[in-house]
Structure 1
Amino acid sequence: MEMLRELDLKGSALKELSSSIDNLISLVDLKLKNCKNLVCLLDSFYKLKSLEIFCLEGCSRLETFPEIMDTMERLRRLDLDRTDLKYLSLNDCENLVCLPDSFYKLKSLERLTLQGCSSLEIFPEILETMERLSDLDLSGTTLKELPSSIDNLIGLEELVLNNCENLVCLPDNFYKLKSLKRLTLQGCSRLEIFSEVMDTMEMLRDLDLSGTTLKELPSSIENLIGLVELNLNNCENLVCLPDSFYKLKSLEILDIYGFSNLVVENLLTAIGGRLGKQKDIVGLSSLHRLDLSESNLENLPTTIKQFPCLEKLILRKCKRLKSLPKLPPSLVYLDADDCCLQGGLVLMHLL
């Protein structure tokens, strides 16, 4: 039907749409407001290539939004107010420039993924609490910042911002995300500053800062008291860690390979030297994997033997490494592949 441009089904008792709706090849405006029996949309919805306005406001039984398997270049308005939407995926909607200001009214939403929405520069203010949203993926967007009202996402457990190359900072109040378990900022190549952690974050277990341009971490990082895994791979501008770093008592995995400027000896003084000055090990006592591959260290400090749980030590391609000190008896895996200097063998005193 080449001529039909507007279809208004507001308030009807529809439970679903016919799969042949994609024959409405010129449809511009589709209104399904207050279709309270509508429970799902067609998987082929994305084939409505002419669609510009799609209103689902008040479809209170609609729980899921289908995957958009191809580009929809013309869609500019999507109204989902007062739906029961739990999962919204808008991956690779390259022309999407903003979300509606009323986004926060999606009270049932549990997961939102906007991966690859390369024109999305602004995330809307969240003017009311959203208790159920637990997963938010904004990878590959062009966001420069997140709104300070993000702390209204009180149930947020996973925030993914991989390859957001325009992101320059996190909001100062990010530490108020008390439910957050995983924060991923891999490849955020303009991120130079990590916000102060002004209060304890007990739930955050996994923090990935690899490929950022961070120059330092705040001393308040010690407030990440539940942190288990920290990834700092290829943070080439990072030159040191704060003295408080050793207080990360729950840290089990530390990956810091690929540094060009980091003086690893100073790094290990921060995390190991502190231990040597104390009768009892109070910091990093849970560390069981340490990856220092491709770093410029020549020697490991003798204090490394005091890490009581260290099981894996990875030193691949540490070209300047000359020797290893006595290592902790807990160690079960050592990878020192390609660690010879000008053909010389690495001298290892393992135990």
Structure 2
Amino acid sequence: MHLPHVQTNRAYPLDSLPQEFDPCHLVELNLSYSHLQKLWGGTKNLDMLKTCKLCHSQQLTEVDDLCKAQNIELIDLQGCTKLQRFPATGQLRHLRVVNLSGCTEIRSIPEVSPNIVELHLQGTGTRELPISLVNNKLGNLLAKFKGKLMSTPP
């Protein structure tokens, strides 16, 4: 079965997608307001994925490694209040927008794509910014921090 888009109009009730779920042809994953705690565990073939929206999935505690999502352009995790860690995205050359607003448990941001143009960090617990933020393409850094930054890129 070919499902290029997975989207729910209601909250996805399970705490993860089935382990046998094969997202190799998936272009958009929109499971906002789901009850997911994690996606599927491990690394999956995500070559076609361009958009990942898991906004307001308040039980989400981890996001799987996205290293195989080489065509991803947008990751939206806004309001995932239990999310503690965001994977490094430095190798994702097409990634342009990351929204972590309201992810109050996130304390630091790993290396990000050099082509990122929007990084939304309002309402996070972030106290450090990665060195990779020093680039010419970051046109819209939206960051209001709860506390003071402990370190910033030079």
TM-score higher than 0.5 here? yes
**TM-score, scaled to structure 2:** 0.81
Tell me, yes or no, if the aligned pair for 2:79 and 2:102 is still in contact at 8 Å.
Answer: yes
C-alpha deviations, 1:3-52, integer Å up to 9, x for none? xxxxxxxxxxx13xxxxxxxxxxxxxxxxxxxxxx2222434734x2353
Aligned-partner SS, 1:104: coil
Partners in 1 of 2:131 and 2:16 — Cα distance? 37
**TM-score, scaled to structure 1:** 0.39
User: Higher Cα Rg: structure 1 or 2?
Assistant: 1
- The residue that corresponds to 1:107 in the other structure is 70
Q: Within 5 Å, which residues of 2 pair with 1:33-182? A: 38-44=3-9, 46-47=11-12, 49-50=13-14, 52-55=16-19, 56-60=21-25, 62-68=26-32, 70-72=33-35, 75-78=37-40, 81-83=44-46, 84-100=48-64, 102-126=65-89, 129-141=91-103, 142-147=105-110, 149-150=111-112, 153-164=113-124, 166-175=125-134, 177-182=135-140
Partners in 2 of 1:50 and 1:174 — Cα distance? 35
Partners in 1 of 2:123 and 2:14 — Cα distance? 31
Q: Which has the larger helix fraction? A: 1
- Give the aligned length: 150
Unmatched segments (≥5 aa) in structure 2:
none
Write the letter of the residue equivalent to 1:92: H
Tell me, yes or no, if the aligned pair for 1:169 and 1:191 is still in contact at 8 Å.
Answer: no
CA spacing shift, 1:114–1:132, aligned 2, 3 Å: same
C-alpha deviations, 1:272-309, integer Å up to 9, x for none? xxxxxxxxxxxxxxxxxxxxxxxxxxxxxxxxxxxxxx
C-alpha deviations, 1:101-150, integer Å up to 9, x for none? x3122111111110011111212234x62111100000011211112x32
Structure 1 residue 191: Cα displacement: 2.3
- The residue that corresponds to 2:148 in the other structure is 191
CA spacing shift, 1:58–1:91, aligned 2, 3 Å: closer
Highest relative contact order (Cα 8 Å, sep 6+), 1 or 2?
Answer: 2
- Percent identical among aligned pairs is 19
- Considering only aligned residues, what root-mean-square deviation do their CA atoms show, in Å? 2.4
Partners in 2 of 1:110 and 1:162 — Cα distance? 20
